[in-house]
């Protein structure tokens, strides 16, 4: 049995045994190393250490910590009040306000599950009280939560930038319009579905006074994405430095400005952040070793040759890549998929004329859809935990949102300027 075949079989077996993906990747790599004898036994240990020895990668734990701090500091609720003051009395107003709130929070957290947890805990019960069907309410939050990895700052964008040697700042800039487009199409579908089902808005009128009051109350929260993204785009600080600033600002906003984050809350905030960070870095280290072993075994070259032998048409090849990523997103963690597949797929994309930044956005939107597709579907599990609905029930409710996001993905693929146009303003 060849090394690559054993590697994938071992990985698949561990996944079927419900072994956590980071551990499964590491064990599959170790088994293949021992079986083939082509590499020293300490290869895995070295990769686990060297793969996370990266300054840009330090942005990940700080963005995670910033998201935890802001989720506990009363920021989510204030962001919703701003969105609700604008659209709350319209048809489907609560659901639309939820999507807008997820867009706001996505510009803070960088994580899809964190966005679902922070917004869903508030909005799913609120929408149900307003008369919305619980299945629809949960599906709205699960789908909109995927914006957490599309709208910058985004942890997957940081990982892609590190693995693909692509500017993380460029990735952040390129992610703005695609993220807004995905949010806008979700809003359109939500509006028409709410109109069909009779989900009316609140009785509170939309007025400049109400909007101003909500916006002023949320001013410290609304400044966060402006400071983070404005500083990065303005060349004032790097994405990693921006993540540290986000943590400091989040502490100030939560403890001093809003006074909803207490000192007694900090141990749990730091503990949750440390646990999430450790999980992610184990996946990063194991996936890097897994991907490096694939490279040594010449798998990327073989896959590239196979794809290019099928067709010379860029459209056919990008559609093949899209199908592959959609399938992978159903079964594999987003970060692991980026680390393993970027060295394989990025050279193919560049060879057929795709800009590395544009392809990165395509890859991340593809894998963002994986957050709402079973059996992995992390957002579904978070939403299920909040609402009490079964995964099977929620999987059916999410189907329309899946097709809406798929439609938007094709727009992003075939209209590259959606991603690349903002880069033209970069100084």
Tens of pLDDT, residue by residue over 14-66, are 988 988 888 998 999 999 999 888 788 888 888 888 888 888 888 888 888 88
Structure tokens at 174: 């390129």
Instruction: Judge whether 28 lies within some domain.
Output: no
Residue-level pLDDT at 84? 81
> How many helices and strands, by DSSP H and E, does the chain display?
23, 0
Write out pLDDT tens, residues 323-368. 999 998 888 888 889 998 999 899 999 999 999 999 999 999 999 9
Range of the domain at 166: 56-425
Question: Helix %, strand %, coil % for the chain, to 5?
Answer: 80, 0, 20
**Structural domain includes residue 360:** yes
Q: How far apart are the first and last CA of the chain?
A: 53
Which residues lie closer than 8 Å to 65 by C-beta, 6 or more apart? 247, 269, 270, 273, 277
Q: Is residue 359 part of a domain?
A: yes
| DSSP secondary structure string for all residues of 200-232 | ---SSPP-HHHHHHHHHHTHHHHHHHHHHHHHH
Q: ∠ CA(350), CA(307), CA(371), 5° rounding?
A: 75
Structural domain includes residue 39: no
DSSP 8-state symbol, 41: T
Question: Would residue 283 count as lying in a domain?
Answer: yes
Dihedral sign, Cα of residue 378, residue 384, residue 385, residue 386: positive
Q: How do residues 168-218 score in pLDDT, each as one tens digit?
A: 999 999 999 999 999 999 999 999 999 998 887 766 777 788 889 989 988
pLDDT for the residue 211: 87
Q: Is the dihedral of CA 149, 150, 156, 158 positive or negative?
A: negative
Examine the pLDDT at 427 and tell me if it is beyond 60: no
Secondary structure of residue 389 in the 3-state scheme: coil
Number of domain units in the chain:
1
Counting beta carbons within 10 angstroms of the beta carbon of residue 1, is it exposed (0 to 12), middle (13 to 18) or buried (19 or more)? Answer: exposed
Average pLDDT, the chain: 88
Whether 126 maps to a domain, the answer reads yes
* Structure-block tokens of residue 211: 């909007």
Best CA proximity match to 106, nearest among 97, 90, 94, 119: 119
Task: Give per-residue pLDDT as tens, 284-302.
Answer: 888 888 888 888 888 878 8
Q: Is 243 part of any domain? A: yes
The verdict on residue 23 lying in a domain is: no
3-state secondary structure of 167: coil
The mean pLDDT of 397-414, rounded to a whole number, is 96
What pLDDT, in 10s, does the model give residues 113-140? Answer: 888 888 888 888 888 888 889 999 999 9
147-153 average pLDDT score: 91
Return the closest-CA partner of residue 331 out of 2, 107, 33, 16: 16
């Amino acid at each position: 049995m060849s090394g690559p075949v054993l590697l994938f079989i071992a990985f698949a077996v561990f996944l079927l045994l419900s072994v956590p993906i980071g551990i499964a990747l590491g064990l599959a790599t170790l088994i293949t190393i021992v079986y083939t004898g082509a590499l020293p036994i300490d290869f895995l240990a070295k990769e686990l250490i060297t793969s996370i020895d990266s300054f840009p990668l330090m942005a990940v734990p700080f963005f995670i910590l910033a998201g935890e701090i802001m989720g506990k500091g009363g920021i989510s609720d204030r962001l919703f009040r701003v969105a609700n003051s604008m659209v709350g009395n319209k048809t489907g107003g609560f659901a639309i306000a939820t999507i807008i709130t997820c867009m706001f929070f996505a510009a803070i957290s960088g994580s899809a599950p964190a966005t679902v947890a922070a917004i869903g805990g508030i909005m799913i019960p609120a929408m149900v009280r307003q008369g919305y069907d619980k299945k629809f309410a949960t599906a709205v939050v699960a789908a909109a939560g995927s914006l957490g990895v599309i709208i910058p700052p985004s942890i997957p964008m940081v990982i892609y930038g590190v693995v693909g040697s692509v500017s993380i700042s460029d990735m952040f800039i390129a992610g703005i319009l695609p993220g807004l487009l995905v949010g806008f199409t979700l809003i359109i579908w939500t509006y028409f579905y709410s109109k069909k089902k009779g989900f009316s808005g609140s009785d509170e009128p939309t007025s400049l006074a109400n909007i101003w009051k909500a916006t002023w109350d949320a001013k410290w929260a609304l400044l966060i994405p402006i400071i983070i993204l404005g500083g990065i785009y303005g060349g004032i600080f790097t994405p990693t430095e921006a993540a540290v600033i986000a943590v400091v600002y989040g502490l100030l906003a939560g403890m001093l400005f809003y006074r909803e984050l207490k000192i007694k809350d900090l141990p749990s905030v730091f503990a949750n952040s440390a646990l999430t960070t450790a999980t992610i870095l184990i996946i990063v280290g194991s996936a890097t070793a897994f991907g490096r072993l694939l490279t040594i075994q010449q798998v990327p070259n073989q896959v590239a040759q196979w794809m290019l032998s099928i067709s010379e048409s860029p459209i056919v090849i990008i559609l093949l890549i899209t199908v592959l990523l959609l399938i992978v997103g159903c079964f594999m963690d987003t970060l692991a998929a980026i680390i393993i597949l970027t060295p394989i797929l990025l050279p193919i994309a560049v060879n057929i004329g795709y800009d590395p930044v544009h392809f990165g956005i395509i890859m991340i939107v593809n894998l963002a859809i994986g957050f709402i597709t079973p059996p992995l579907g992390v957002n579904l599990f978070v939403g299920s935990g909040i609402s009490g609905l079964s995964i099977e029930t929620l999987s059916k409710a999410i189907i329309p949102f899946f097709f809406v996001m798929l439609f938007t993905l094709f727009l992003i693929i075939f209209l590259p300027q959606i991603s690349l146009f903002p880069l033209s303003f970069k100084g």
